[in-house]
């Protein structure tokens, strides 16, 4: 994947909330995005829609006060799965989403919550496996980390503090998703002017992926197994216990070696993995 992207898509969800513990399941009620060209230093397009919550359809007074999103806004909105499909179509219309093709952009969020926590929770509530999401929704750039890398003396990374440090005023209403997206886009452009690089800083934790049925092959032996955590170390440990010998390398069925956790996130159920033990001849 690219070490730095020319185009980014800023994303900032708003979700059902209440004083104290959020509703369970918490649901997205605003799904906004802004496409930013870092090369041209410009906003290219905006996507913004409310989302109708299905499990807890009535917004709390606290939620409306915080976000300015009203009950009638969400009552008239489409449900999450329709909005997600529209969002993907919007990205594809800009040439950014090509199934099986290279990733042409990365999402930028203010913190890790949007894509590390909220999107998986929402997908589970809607009955959508996270593995059905295009991979780009499972990786992101945390603007706070880009900010800290560029502004060495900065001590706080809240959105208002980052704007202030960059001599920018907050525009619109904080905690209204589309306004936050535009403010984060302005931060990104200001950091780009300072030479900041925009590379992936986070990816979906293995704990969010479902258990994976696999065929493990060592020599002529093939055994069925279930990988609970999509970590390479977990895979090698599982295979070592299954074959009663220490496994040190793993390969996809079509040949490439698995050298980190990323390929495991994309594996289809019942994929075959070839194993090499510590006492085997070096694999080629």
d(CA 123, CA 148): 31
CB-CB contact of 143 with 187 (8 Å): yes
Q: If residue 203 lies in a helix (H) or strand (E), which one and from where to where? A: strand 202-203
pLDDT in tens, 67-98: 999 999 999 999 999 999 999 999 999 999 98
- Catalytic status, residue 169: no
Q: Does the pLDDT value for residue 284 go beyond 60?
A: no
d(CA 16, CA 258): 40
Provide the 3-class DSSP secondary structure of residue 249: strand
For residue 214, list its beta bridge partners. Answer: 225, 271
CB-CB contact of 39 with 4 (8 Å): no
Provide the 3-class DSSP secondary structure of residue 131: helix
Q: If residue 271 lies in a helix (H) or strand (E), which one and from where to where? A: strand 271-277
Provide the 3-class DSSP secondary structure of residue 39: coil
Tell me the backbone φ, ψ of residue 17, rounded to 5 degrees: -155, 165
- Catalytic status, residue 175: yes
d(CA 9, CA 220): 47
CB-CB contact of 225 with 267 (8 Å): no
CB-CB contact of 73 with 16 (8 Å): no
For the residues 211-220, what does the mean pLDDT come to? 95
Handedness of CA 117, 118, 123, 125 (dihedral sign): positive
pLDDT in tens, 107-136: 999 999 999 999 999 999 999 999 999 999
For the residues 167-184, what does the mean pLDDT come to? 97
pTM for this predicted structure: 0.91
Q: Does the pLDDT value for residue 184 go beyond 60?
A: yes
One of 94, 174, 175, 231 is an active-site residue; which one?
175
The answer for residues whose C-beta is within 8 angstroms of residue 244's C-beta and 6 or more apart is none
pLDDT in tens, 6-23: 999 999 999 999 999 999
Helices marked H in the chain — which ranges? Answer: 61-67, 71-75, 80-93, 113, 119-126, 143-150, 159-165, 177-193, 232-243, 262-266
Under the banding of pLDDT at 50, 70 and 90, the label for residue 1 is very low
Under the banding of pLDDT at 50, 70 and 90, the label for residue 249 is very high
Is 217 exposed, middle or buried (CB count within 10 Å of its CB: 0-12, 13-18, 19+)?
middle
**b/e for 234-257, b at 16 or more Cβ within 10 A?**
ebbebbbebbeeebebbbeeeeee
Please tell me the predicted confidence (pLDDT) of residue 115: 98
One of 14, 27, 87, 182 is an active-site residue; which one?
14
Please tell me the predicted confidence (pLDDT) of residue 282: 67
Please tell me the predicted confidence (pLDDT) of residue 154: 82
- What domains can you pick out in the chain, each with its CATH number? 7-203 (3.30.420.10), 206-277 (3.10.20.10)
């Amino acid at each position: 994947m690219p070490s730095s992207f020319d185009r980014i898509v800023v994303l900032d969800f708003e979700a059902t909330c209440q004083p104290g513990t959020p509703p369970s399941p918490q649901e997205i009620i605003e799904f906004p995005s802004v496409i930013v060209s870092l090369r041209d230093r410009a906003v290219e397009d905006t996507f913004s829609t409310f989302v109708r919550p299905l499990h807890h359809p009535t917004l709390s007074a606290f939620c409306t006060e915080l976000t300015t999103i009203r009950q009638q806004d969400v009552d008239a909105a489409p449900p999450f799965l329709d909005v997600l499909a529209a969002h993907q179509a919007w990205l594809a219309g800009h040439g950014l989403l090509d199934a099986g093709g290279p990733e042409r952009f990365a999402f930028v969020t203010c913190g890790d919550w949007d894509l590390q926590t909220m999107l998986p929770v929402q997908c589970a509530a809607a009955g959508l496996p996270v593995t059905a999401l295009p991979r780009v929704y499972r990786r992101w750039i945390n603007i706070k980390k880009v900010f800290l890398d560029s502004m060495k003396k900065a001590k706080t990374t809240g959105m208002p503090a980052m704007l202030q440090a960059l001599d920018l005023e907050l525009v619109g209403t904080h905690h209204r998703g589309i306004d936050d997206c535009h403010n984060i886009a302005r931060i990104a452009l200001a950091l780009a002017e300072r030479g900041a690089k925009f590379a992936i800083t986070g990816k979906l934790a293995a704990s969010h992926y479902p258990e994976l049925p696999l065929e493990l092959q060592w020599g002529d032996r093939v055994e069925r197994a279930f990988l609970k955590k999509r970590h390479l170390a977990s895979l090698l440990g599982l295979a070592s216990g299954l074959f009663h010998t220490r496994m040190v390398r793993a390969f996809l069925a079509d040949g490439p070696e698995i050298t980190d956790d990323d390929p495991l996130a994309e594996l289809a159920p019942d994929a075959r993995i070839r194993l090499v033990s510590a006492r085997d001849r070096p694999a080629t």
